[in-house]
Chains A and B, each alone.
Chain A
Amino acid sequence: MTQALNASVDLAVCKGHGRCYMTAPEIFDCDDAGFPLVIGTATTEQQISDLQRAVNNCPEQAVSVSPAG
């Protein structure tokens, strides 16, 4: 069983590129100005790999993950 992951966004660093909610739509949504909202925990393989891609594709390095407890 893969470890479930929580996502968090450092909103001081995030500039609203939207790569996170494009790559991991089940984990992130966006607000009316285009900034991300965390809406879920990554539990399935697909969600975990999407979340990992969101971390790696964010041009501001604003997304981080931690084990969901």
Chain B
Amino acid sequence: MTDVKDASSPEIQRDFDIHSPDDVEGVYDTYAAMRSGCPVAHSPRYGGHFVATRYDDIHDVLRNPGTYSSRTINVPDSIGQDGEMIPIQIDPPDHSTYRGIINPLFSPKRMRELEPQIRAIATELLDTMLAEKKVDFVDAFAREFPSQVFLALMGWDLSDAPRLNEWTDTMVLGKPGASEEENEAVREQAGMEVYAYFAQMIDDRMENGGDAEDITQILINSTFEGRELTQFEILNILLLFMIGGLHTVQGQLAHTVIYMAEHPEVRRQLVGDLDLVPTAVEEMLRYESAVCPAREVTEDTVLNGVQLRSGDKILIPFAAANRDPEKFEDPDVVDLTREPNPHLAFGAGNHRCVGSHLARLELRVAFEEIHKRMPDYRLDPADPPVRHLSQVKGVVSLPLIIGESL
């Protein structure tokens, strides 16, 4: 097998940095170049790791958790968690036991019942936002909305949202521009503060009781193969809900508003027919897929002609999979009625996003309420939005002028 390449083959080397502040606007071109030149590339960053960019290869990785373990989910390895985040860093068979506990918490039926509450949070934020002509959409809505929904689901105080947001930002982004050591230190600090906060919420619940139906209480009452969950387990489940549920929705909303501000013809199509919202949500999830997890190879294997060895790390950017022209016609074009659209924005296989039903509901409600109330908006030419890459691509600031259009 002379044509199998490996980590040292010169033709697959690419200096790709998932945390680079410089690459964010050009990242789809970077992925396209890798996909057509070396669909399984090798980067020297963070101790060396592979990057897959074809839909089918990424799909293969997702569907073979035995070969591609998610015990390593981040590069660099830690975002400040203590122990494993549950269930993302857990492999089968324990993974399915945890999912058995968690799936019902976010089931489509349960989420549907929450719709009025979620809509009320959205409309209240939008009413405040629309009193202004110039706003930062991230501050006014995108960051606040998912965190208030999260707190409501937990049965915690909505006014804790700013604290949660700050911890999440630090754990996901580190300290932009700082050294790797410094980053590690700030993430660890944020991690400790989050655990302390969660622990206090759990203790408070144990002492004082509360809503029997909220997520905090259901987790406290849950059992893993007959034993109660430990506090450590609950903390690491809650941490993942926070990391997985806030930044992602925030980014998705902000990326969508940037696109719609820049493409008034697409926005008018949506404003003119809000029945398009469900497929528009799917299309924007495909077009801007924020999440780029890692996997750790557990046994020597070959992926699309490249030899991977046990212990190797591989990044699987869903943004690359979802722009693969082999899978999607005109992948760089937004088509609000795209059909079919089997995108991987929520992953696939056993770690498929457990919050996807909640996320879809939040996105639908937000797309509807925003475009019902705010048919026209544009970016501020003097103050363009700032995005960041990282393993959850997001938007730091999004100045918006309301009531005007390009």
Contact present for A16 and B278 (CB under 8 Å): no
Contact present for A15 and B357 (CB under 8 Å): no
Contact present for A32 and B109 (CB under 8 Å): yes
B325 contacts A by Cβ under 8 Å: no
Shortest distance in angstroms between B38's beta carbon and chain A's nearest beta carbon?
A: 25
Shortest distance in angstroms between B191's beta carbon and chain A's nearest beta carbon?
A: 29
Contact present for A56 and B340 (CB under 8 Å): yes
Residue B343 contacts which of A32, A33, A59 (CB distance < 8 angstroms)? A59
B259 contacts A by Cβ under 8 Å: no
Shortest distance in angstroms between A13's beta carbon and chain B's nearest beta carbon?
A: 8
Contacting residues, chain A, for B349 (C-beta < 8 A)? 15, 60
Indicate with 1 or 0, residue by residue over A29-69, a CB within 8 angstroms of chain B CB atoms. Answer: 01011100000000000000000010011111000000000
Indicate with 1 or 0, residue by residue over B91-130, a CB within 8 angstroms of chain A CB atoms. Answer: 0000000001001101111000000000000000000000
Contact present for B108 and A17 (CB under 8 Å): no
Contact present for B104 and A33 (CB under 8 Å): yes
Contact present for B339 and A18 (CB under 8 Å): no
Roughly how many angstroms separate A32 CA and B107 CA in the complex, as a whole number?
6
B348 contacts A by Cβ under 8 Å: yes
A interface residues, tally (CB under 8 Å): 17
B307 contacts A by Cβ under 8 Å: no
Shortest distance in angstroms between B106's beta carbon and chain A's nearest beta carbon?
A: 7
Contacting residues, chain A, for B352 (C-beta < 8 A)? 15-17, 59
Contact present for A18 and B348 (CB under 8 Å): no
With A32-B104, A33-B103, A34-B357 as contacts: A60 and B348 at CB distance below 8 Å: yes
Roughly how many angstroms separate A58 CA and B349 CA in the complex, as a whole number?
12
Roughly how many angstroms separate A57 CA and B104 CA in the complex, as a whole number?
23
Contact present for A16 and B103 (CB under 8 Å): yes
Contact present for B109 and A15 (CB under 8 Å): no
Beyond A16-B103, A21-B108, A34-B106, 11 additional contacts (C-beta under 8 Å) are A16-B352, A17-B356, A18-B357, A22-B278, A30-B107, A32-B107, A34-B103, A56-B342, A57-B339, A57-B340, A57-B341
